[in-house]
A and B are shown apart, each in its own frame.
Chain A
Amino acid sequence: MRIYPHFNAEGPVNSYLVCDDDKNAIMIDPAEIDHELIDIIETEKLNLKACLITNPYSTHVLGLPILDKIYTFDIYSAKNIVAGFKSLKATKLTIGGLEIEPYYFNGDYENCIIYRIGNAIFTGDVLYAGKIGETTNKFERNLLIDNIKRIFKNLDDNCLIYPGSGSVTKLRTERISNYDLLKSEVVLY
């Protein structure tokens, strides 16, 4: 498996191209399709099979129309329609040699999905390096933290985390240094 991170000034958000040894590729959050991304697909001769959307209502999907003009692929998200395109509900699936496991949320992030492919986790807007996504109130915040902890509970410390924006990280780092997750464990008497 190979992962190509790509920064988009639009948003600003991160997109990721993930491919297996047979060049079957998946794009996570096609925010902005520029020559750099197309170059990777073409020079590496990748066969783009699917786009996985972490958040259908964000800048993460702005590149879909351009990508759709060039390639034929399936779209997976939490909704049936994404940016005007038909989307399939993300379930546990295998594309080429890539086994994809989606994790759903409730509350503010009910339309968002975290995807795990092997030991890489694509967290979209739910979790960034050192902090969690924005929420509308304290209840939602605690709910989101509970959801994140539930997902991370059984995952290995060496998992790589690729957020929707900002720097990449590792699960061990988030467990030790994520300000929001740590703060939620502090009890004031």
Chain B
Amino acid sequence: MFSFKKCSHPSCTTYVSKPFDVCFHHASEEEKKIILSSLVYKLTNNPIVRDETIVGGAFKGLKVKSKDIKASNFAFTVFENCEFESTTILNCYFDFCIFIDCTFNNDNIRYSVFSGSTMTDTKFLDSNIIHSNFMGISTKRSSFNQCDLYYSNFSMSKLVSTSFEDSNLKRVDYTASLLKDVSFKYSNPEEAIFMNEEDKNS
């Protein structure tokens, strides 16, 4: 698990980025460079990336292939033009991130959190994305095609021009979501949840 140690900056509750005792935001420019370059190196070279934290970082053109990313925290980070291919993402936090023109291809994503993120032109393709949290996300021109989304949660989201085609939507939660120009072609939306039980009965 990534370190629960809090940033040493007064009143900051963000988790620290290794090896420093401050979070990425409060790190000096020099420290930021070290944190970013070390993470990029690990994500592109190490087979297993574990217990890493970067909050508020930015990655551009990152290519992650056949890696295991575990128990890591990437909250409030910007990913632009990044590719995650044949990668396992387990118990990771990508909450309130911005994904622009990213692809997740043939990945195994479990127990991970993408809540509050904004996804533009981002594609999840041919991936297992089970037990993952996409609550409150905002998507545009994005897709979750040929994916197993079992038990994932898209409640309170704004999904525009987004497709969930040829995907398993069993127990997927879309409660209170805004769906505009959303395609469920060849999927099973009848097994997904679109309304809270209490609202159904009222």
Q: Name the one of A118, A166, A179 contacting B131, with C-beta atoms under 8 angstroms.
A: A166
Knowing A1-B1, A179-B175 are in contact, say whether A167-B152 is a contact too (CB < 8 A): yes
Knowing A176-B136, A177-B135, A179-B156 are in contact, say whether A168-B111 is a contact too (CB < 8 A): yes
Is chain A's binding surface mostly helix, strand, loop or mixed?
Answer: mixed
Nearest CB of chain B from residue A78's CB, rounded to whole Å? 25
Contact between chains at B197 and A177 (CB < 8 Å)? no
Contact between chains at A167 and B132 (CB < 8 Å)? yes
Bound Cα distance from A12 to B14, whole angstroms: 33
Give chain B residues whose Cβ lies under 8 Å from the Cβ of A63: none
- Asked if B59 is at the interface (CB within 8 A of a chain A CB), the reply is no
Contact between chains at B136 and A166 (CB < 8 Å)? no
Q: Which of A147-185 contact B (CB under 8 A)?
A: 156-158, 160, 165-170, 172-173, 176-177, 179-180
Contact between chains at A119 and B131 (CB < 8 Å)? no
Contact between chains at B113 and A170 (CB < 8 Å)? yes
Bound Cα distance from A112 to B163, whole angstroms: 39
Give chain B residues whose Cβ lies under 8 Å from the Cβ of A157: 13
Knowing A158-B14, A167-B111 are in contact, say whether A3-B133 is a contact too (CB < 8 A): no
Which A-chain residue is minimally distant from B135 (CB atoms)? A177
Among B113, B130, B196, chain A packs the most CB atoms within 10 A around the CB of: B113
Bound Cα distance from A90 to B13, whole angstroms: 28
Which A-chain residue is minimally distant from B156 (CB atoms)? A177
- Asked if B39 is at the interface (CB within 8 A of a chain A CB), the reply is no
Contact between chains at B153 and A166 (CB < 8 Å)? yes
Give chain B residues whose Cβ lies under 8 Å from the Cβ of A146: none
Which B-chain residue is minimally distant from A19 (CB atoms)? B1
Q: How many A-B residue pairs have CB under 8 A?
A: 95
Contact between chains at B13 and A156 (CB < 8 Å)? yes
Which of A29-37, A53-61, A68-76, A127-135 forms part of the interface with chain B? A127-135
Contact with A along B168-186 (1 / 0, CB 8 A): 0000010110000000000
- Asked if A5 is at the interface (CB within 8 A of a chain B CB), the reply is yes
- Asked if B194 is at the interface (CB within 8 A of a chain A CB), the reply is no
Bound Cα distance from A165 to B173, whole angstroms: 13
Contact between chains at B1 and A2 (CB < 8 Å)? yes
Q: Which of B85-130 contact A (CB under 8 A)?
A: 91, 93, 95-96, 110-113, 115-116, 130
Give chain B residues whose Cβ lies under 8 Å from the Cβ of A131: 155, 175, 196
Bound Cα distance from A151 to B178, whole angstroms: 30
Bound Cα distance from A180 to B155, whole angstroms: 11
Contact between chains at A168 and B116 (CB < 8 Å)? no
Contact between chains at B113 and A169 (CB < 8 Å)? yes
Knowing A1-B4, A177-B115 are in contact, say whether A168-B136 is a contact too (CB < 8 A): no
- Asked if A7 is at the interface (CB within 8 A of a chain B CB), the reply is yes
Q: Which of A36-57 contact B (CB under 8 A)?
A: none
Bound Cα distance from A28 to B135, whole angstroms: 24
Nearest CB of chain B from residue A46's CB, rounded to whole Å? 14
Bound Cα distance from A91 to B169, whole angstroms: 40
- In the complex, 8 of the A-B residue pairs with CB atoms within 8 angstroms, ordered by the A residue number, are A7-B110, A165-B151, A167-B131, A168-B113, A170-B113, A170-B115, A172-B116, A176-B136
Other than A3-B91, A129-B153, A166-B173, give 7 A-B pairs with Cβ distance below 8 A.
A1-B4, A130-B153, A131-B155, A134-B197, A158-B13, A168-B112, A168-B113
User: Shortest 4 CB-CB distances between A and B: which pairs?
Assistant: A177-B136, A167-B133, A173-B115, A130-B155
